[in-house]
Amino acid sequence: MLSHKRTQRRLSTQRSQRSRRKPIKVFFSAISVISVLILVSAFSTACRQDMHDQPKPIPLRASAFFADERSARPLVEGTVSREHLRDDTLLETGRTGNGEATMFPFRVDARVLARGRERYDIYCSPCHGRTGNGDGMVVRRGFRRPPSYHDDRLREAPVGHFVDVIANGFGAMADYRQQVEPRDRWAITAYIRALQLSEHATIADVPAAERARLQ
């Protein structure tokens, strides 16, 4: 008798638990249906052809909107650049109307030389070496050897030549236009001139007040 009552209570408890689960299942089923409907609605509205064919200008593509059929428009007269104007040909290119420049566009002092040495050690010395002899670390490991800055040809080259080569490259040397800004190209050139002078300097080139330190 006792066993029968226990069985009845167990069955009653199981029926009660199943009755409580059913609304939960129905609730989650309703959420699933709503989620699917939302996703279908989102895809159906987002994947429209007019979003693919947007009325926007694409570089170098013709435009039927303008009379000249160009999507890229000329600058409005009087527009002022927010960046560097790059209107100094000598500074930017190392060239003048007569060819490669023979003079610097600004005064070379100790600060300029220090900056030039720093940039040179970063970008130039791996190939050209710290002293400009063309024996940089990558050359010692099999890379093509560049000419020495102390060759007569480069000692006699105008300063604008070095600025131009830094910007545009020469032979096996890649251009460093993006890595080295115009003023730094001139600072590097000034340091190269200092290296060239150091290899061929005489006691007469040393200021009188400093000569005693060399003897």
pLDDT in tens, 43-81: 555 556 666 677 777 788 888 888 888 888 888 888 887
Q: How far apart are CA 30 and CA 33, in angstroms?
A: 5
Query: For each of the chain's 215 residues, which pLDDT tens digit applies?
Result: 545 555 666 656 656 555 555 554 545 566 666 766 666 665 555 556 666 677 777 788 888 888 888 888 888 888 887 777 778 899 999 999 889 999 999 999 999 999 999 999 999 999 999 999 999 999 999 999 999 999 999 999 999 999 999 999 998 899 999 999 999 999 999 999 999 998 888 888 888 888 787 76
50 in a domain, yes or no? no
Count other Cβ atoms within 10 Å, centred on residue 67.
Answer: 7
Domain contains 8: no
Residue in this structure with the two tokens 């200092």, named with its chain if needed: 194
Q: Rounded to whole angstroms, how far apart are CA atoms 74 and 88?
A: 22
- Whether 198 and 205 have beta carbons less than 8 Å apart is answered as no
pLDDT score, position 2: 45
Query: What CATH number is given to the structural domain containing 176?
Result: 1.10.760.10
State the Cα–Cα distance between residues 194 and 215, nearest whole angstrom: 22
Q: Which of 137, 187, 134, 126 is nearest to 162 (CA)?
A: 187
Q: What is the pTM of this model?
A: 0.62
Residue 93: φ, ψ to 5° = -115, -20
Could you list the residue range(s) of the whole structural domain that residue 94 is in? 89-202
**What is the DSSP-derived secondary structure letter of residue 147?**
P
In a domain, 100, yes or no: yes
Q: Is residue 98 part of a domain?
A: yes
Task: Report pLDDT digits (tens) over 184-204.
Answer: 999 999 999 999 998 888 888
Burial class (CB in 10 A: 0-12, 13-18, 19+), 156: exposed
Residue 154 lies in a domain: yes
In a domain, 101, yes or no: yes
Number of domains forming the structure of the chain:
1
- What are the tokens at 94? 């190392």
Domain presence at residue 84: no
Domain-embedded: residue 166: yes
- The structure tokens listed for 89 are 């040909």
